[in-house]
Structure 1
Amino acid sequence: MEELYTLEREVGRGSYGVVFEGHMAKTRQRVAIKRLPCSNPECIELYLQELWAMRATAKNHVNVIALHSCLLQTGPRSLKPLKPGKLPLCLVESVLKGRVAGAPQSQERNDALSNTQRRTNSVSRLQDRTNTVQSRVKLQDKPKSNMSDSTTPQRPQNRSRKRPQREEEQQGPLRCLALWLVMEYCDGGDLNQYLLSRPPDAERNHSVVRQLCSAVAFLHSLGITHRDLKPDNVLVCVTPKGPVVKVADFGLSKMSEGLMDGDLTRQHFSSTCGSDFYMAPEVWGGLTYTAQADIFSLGVMFWAVLERITFLEEGTTQEQLGAYVCKGRSGWLMPLGEALWENADLQLCIPMKFKRAPPLPPPPGPAMCSLLLDMLASNPDARPPADQLEARVRSALKEDSH
C-alpha cells in the first residue's frame, strides 16, 4: 500500500467498512480510500455491485464520484491492483456459492446454513448486477451539525429495511480479506453537512439542483438506476467557483445491460430498497418500479434544498434535509412516499405554508413549484424522465427569476 498510497487518517466508519483520507505516493494527490472487509457473501455482493457501477461511470462526469483504482488484499500486507474490467474470481465464487471462498470450515458451514435459499438465485442476481441489501457505507466523515434547535421537527428512528450484520474478519488460505476502493476526495462532506453549516443562499441551492439533474441524467443514460438518492449520498467538493456535488454510494444501484428501445423507464425492479424519507410511493407499496423512482427521490431532495426543510432522527442532533408530511395533532413526520402510497390524491403544499426556523432562503417560484409537483407525482409515468429534467429545471429557474 505504501508504494502506491499513504493513509493519513480515518474519516468515516459504517456498517460495512472504513474510509481513510490518503495521498497518492507519486503525485501527492489527496484521495479517499475505502476498505471493505470481505467477511460474508451478502457484503461481498454489495461491494461487487458498487465496484461495477463505479467502473461504468469511468470518471466521465464531474458530478459523479470518480473511482481511481481498486486493490485486492489477500494477506496482512499483501495488496495488488485489480485489473480494469476484471472481478476477483474468489469473490465471485463467494457470491455464487453463498459462502466465503477460502474461509475456515466452521464459517463455511455457518454461511451454508444461513444462505440456503440465497444460493438458488444468486447466479441471476450477479448476472444482472443487482442486490437487495438495505444499507450503505459512509464515504466521508459527517461532523454533527450545530444548526439544530428546538424548532426543528423530530422524526423517530429510521424504519429502514433490516440490513445484514457484518461479521468479524476471519483469515484463511486463498481468501480475499478486503477490497480497497481509491476514490476522489471530497472536502465539503455530504450535502447535509455542507448546506446546513452555511447561511441559506438561493444561487448555491440552484447550482446544487442543476448539478444533481445532470448527474442522474448521465447515470440513467448508462442504464444505472441509483435507488438510494439522498443528501447523505451526495458529496461536495469546495472550489473557488462554488460547490461541485458528486453522487456517490452505488451499493444499491441497478445496472441494466441493454435498455429496451433506449428507455430505462421500461426496465422494472422488484427489490424494496432505499431510505424511507426518499423512497417513491411504488417502492413503499412493494410494487415493481422503474428508474422513475430516482426522480421522486430527487424531488424530495430538491424541495428540501430549495426551502431548507430539515428534520431530526430521534436520539440524534444531526439535522437532515428532507421534505415530509405532518400527520395528526402530534405532528408525526411521515415520508412523502409513504403518505402518497396511502393516499395517491394527497395534495402537497409547495412551498410549505407553515413556519420553519430561520434563516430561510426565498421560497421557490411558481414554475419550480409546478415542476416539483410533477417530480413527486404518485404516478411514475407522470414524472419527467431524467433526460428532460435538467432542461426543465433550467427553464423553471429562469422563468421564476423574471
Structure 2
Amino acid sequence: MEELYTLEREVGRGSYGVVFEGHMAKTGQRVAIKRLPCSNPECIELYLQELWAMRATAKNHVNVIALHSCLLQTGPRSLKRLKPGKLPVRLVESVLKGRVVGAPQSQEMNDVQSNSQIRTNTASRLKDRTNTVQAKAKLQDKSKSNTSDCTTPQRLPNRARKRPVETEEEQPEPLRCLALWLVMEYCDGGDLNQYLLSRPPDAQRNHSVVQQLCRAVDFLHNLGITHRDLKPDNVLVCVTPKGPVVKVADFGLSKMTEGVAGSDLTRQHFSSTCGSDFYMAPEVWGGLSYTAQADIFSLGVMFWAVLERITLLEEGTTQEQLGAYVCKGRSGWLIPLGEALWENSDLQLCIPMKFRRAPPLPPPPGPAMCTLLLDMLASSPDVRPSADQLEARVRSALKEDSH
C-alpha cells in the first residue's frame, strides 16, 4: 500500500469498513481510503454494489463523491489495481455461491451454519439484484476463457504415460481476496451533521445544501441508480471559499439498473427492506415493493431537518443528528416519519415546527417550501415529485418565499 498511498489516520468506522485519511505517494494529493474486509458473502455483495455504482458516477458530478481507484488485497502486502469496468471474479463467485471462495478449510467448517443462512438470504434477494445478475453474466463470459481462475481443471486420461496423483497439499492454494480498498476524494468538512451542527444557523447556506442535494439525486436517478440510504451521515462536505460543496456518498445499499433512467426509474421496483429508520419511506417501512421515489422521501426528511435545524438522538447514541420525526405524547417518544405515515396514511404533518423557532434557529421555511416538503413526504410515492422535477421546484419555492 505504501508504494501507492500513505495512510495517515482513521477518520471513520462503520459496520462494514474503516475509512482512513491518506495521500497519493507520487503527487501527495489527499484522499480518503476505505477498507472493506471480504469476510462473508453478504458484506461482499454490498461492496460490489458500492463499487459498481461509484464506477458509474466516476468523477462526473461535483455533488457525488469521486472514486479515484479500487484495489484488491490478496495478501498481507499484495495489492492489485482493478481495471475499470471489471468486477473481481472471485468476489462475484463468493456472492453467488454463498460462501467465501478461497477461504481456509477451517474457516469454512466454522461458518457452515451461517453460510447456509446466507445462501437462503442471497436467493431471496435475487429478485432485485440487478448489479449481481449483470456481474454473473460477466463472470460466465470470463470463465470461458479463464476457467483455471475459478476451478481446478481435470486432467485428461493418458494411458501411455502414468504420473503420480497430486495430493491436496501439493495443489496450489487458491487466491484469497482479503479486502477491497476504495480510494476516493477527501472531504475536509466531515458529514452533513458535523458540518451544519458545528456552525451557527445560516439560511443561505441551508438553501445551497438543499439545491446541491437535488442536483446529486437527479444525476444518480438519470444514471439508473437508486441510493436507498440517503441521510446526513451519507452526505460529505468539502469546504471551499465559496461555501460548502456537498457530496452524496456510501452506495453500499444502492441499486443500479442499466437502461432505466430518469422518470422511468419510478417503474423499477425493489423489495429489500433497507435504509435508516428516520429516513425510510412508508412503503419501505411496510415491507411493500418500492421505487426510486423512496429516495425523494428520504430527501424530504433531510430538507425539513436542514431548513428548520431539527435534530434528534437515536437510541443508544450520544451524537446529535439532523432528522425530522413525529413526537408521540408527553413522553417525547420519537417516531420516524415513515413509520408514522405507514401506520396512518392520513397523518397531517406540522410543517414548519413553529414551536422550535426560538433564536438562534433560522426562520421557518415559507409557504411554498412547506408545500413542497409536504409533497416530498407524501405517504403515496405518486404524489412525490420525481428527481428531475425537484431542483426546479425547490428553486421556484425559494424564490417565491423570498418575496
Task: Please tell me whether residue 333 in structure 1 is matched to residue 334 in structure 2.
Answer: yes
1:128 aligns with 2:109: no
Segment of structure 1 superposing worse, 274-283 or 356-365 = 356-365
Q: Is the 8 A contact 1:204 1:242 kept in 2?
A: yes
Shift of 1:261: 9.3
Q: Which residue of the partner structure matches residue 163 of structure 1?
A: none
Partner of 2:355: helix, strand, or coil? Answer: coil
- More displaced 10-residue stretch of structure 1: 173-182 or 194-203: 173-182
Partner Cα distance (2:327, 2:262) in 1 = 41
Q: What does 1:3-402 align with in structure 2 at a 5 Å threshold?
A: 3-116=3-116, 118-119=118-119, 121-122=122-123, 124=126, 128-129=130-131, 173-259=174-260, 263-355=264-356, 358-402=359-403
Tell me, what secondary structure is at the counterpart of 1:115? Answer: helix
- C-alpha change, 1:68 and 1:288, in structure 2 (3 Å) is same
Structure 1: state its 5+ residue gaps.
132-171
Matched residues, percent identical?
Answer: 89
- Mapped to 2, the partners of 1:401 and 1:80 lie a distance apart of 54
- Residue type at the aligned position of 1:382: V
Q: Distance in 1 between matches of 2:338 and 2:211?
A: 23
Deviation of residue 73 (structure 1)?
A: 0.7
Q: Tell me what 2:162 maps to.
A: none
Q: Is the 8 A contact 1:97 1:119 kept in 2?
A: yes
SS, match of residue 35 in structure 1: strand
One-letter code aligned to 1:5:
Y
1:2 deviation in Å? Answer: 1.8
**CA-CA distance at 1:19 after TM superposition:** 1.1
The CA deviation string for residues 289-337 of structure 1, in whole angstroms up to 9 with x for no partner, is: 1000000000000000000000112443311100111111212111111
Q: 1:316 to 1:119 in 2, by over 3 A?
A: closer
Q: Is the 8 A contact 1:35 1:179 kept in 2?
A: yes
Asked if structure 1 preserves the Cα contact closer than 8 Å seen for 2:262 and 2:388, the reply is: no
Higher helix share: 2
Pairwise CA distance, 1:119: 3.2
Give the direction of change, closer, same or farther, for the CA distance of 1:84–1:303 in structure 2 (3 Å limit).
same
Partner Cα distance (1:196, 1:348) in 2: 24
Q: Match of 1:135?
A: none
Q: Deviations over 1:68-114 (max 9, x none)?
A: 00011111111121111111111111111111111111222344432
* Residues 392-401 or 314-323, more deviating: 314-323
Aligned equivalents of 2:115, 2:40: Cα separation in 1: 10
Residues 3, 183 of structure 1: alpha-carbon distance in 2 compared, 3 angstrom cutoff:
same
Specify the SS of the correspondent of 1:263. helix
Aligned counterpart, 1:157: none
Conserved in 2, the CA contact under 8 Å of 1:98 and 1:112? no
Distance 1:257 1:112, change over 3 A: farther
Alignment root-mean-square deviation, CA = 1.9
Structure 1 or 2, whichever has the larger Rg, is: 2
Whole-Å Cα distance in 2 between the matches of residues 49 and 187 of structure 1? 25
In structure 2, distance between residues paired with 1:261 and 1:385:
8
Q: What TM-score results when the alignment is normalised by the length of structure 1? A: 0.86
1:325-375 CA-partner distances (Å, limit 9, x unpaired): 111121211111111111111111111132366420011011000000000
CA distance in 2, matches of 1:222, 1:8: 34
Instruction: Give the AA of the match of 2:32.
Output: A
Which piece of structure 1 moves more, 299-308 or 37-46? 37-46
Say whether the 8 Å CA contact 1:202–1:306 is kept in structure 2. Answer: yes
Contact 1:130–1:252 (8 Å) recurs in 2:
no
* TM-score, L = length of structure 2: 0.86
Name the structure, 1 or 2, with higher relative contact order (CA <8 Å, separation 6+): 1
Q: CA separation in 2, counterparts of 1:34 and 1:45? A: 16
> What amino acid is aligned across from residue 15 of structure 1 in structure 2?
S
- Say which SS state the counterpart of residue 381 (structure 1) adopts: coil
Residues 168-223 of structure 1: per-residue CA shift (max 9 Å, x gap): xxxx7410111110000000000000000000000000000000000000000010
Measured in 2, the distance between the counterparts of 1:325 and 1:233 equals 22
1:214-258, CA deviations, whole angstroms, 9 ceiling, x for partnerless residues? 000000001000000000000000000000000000000011123
* TM-superposed deviation, 1:16: 1.6
Distance across 2 between alignment mates of 1:57 and 1:125:
24
CA distance in 1, matches of 2:349, 2:76: 55
Q: Distance in 1 between matches of 2:118 and 2:268?
A: 23
Q: Output the amino acid matched with 1:16.
A: Y
CA displacement, residues 26-72 of structure 1 (integer Å, 9 cap, x when unaligned): 11110000111111111111111110010010111000000000011
Deviates more, 1:33-42 or 1:185-194: 33-42
- How many Å separate the matches in 2 of 1:95 and 1:114? 14
SS at match of 1:19: strand
Distance 1:329 1:18 in 2: 40
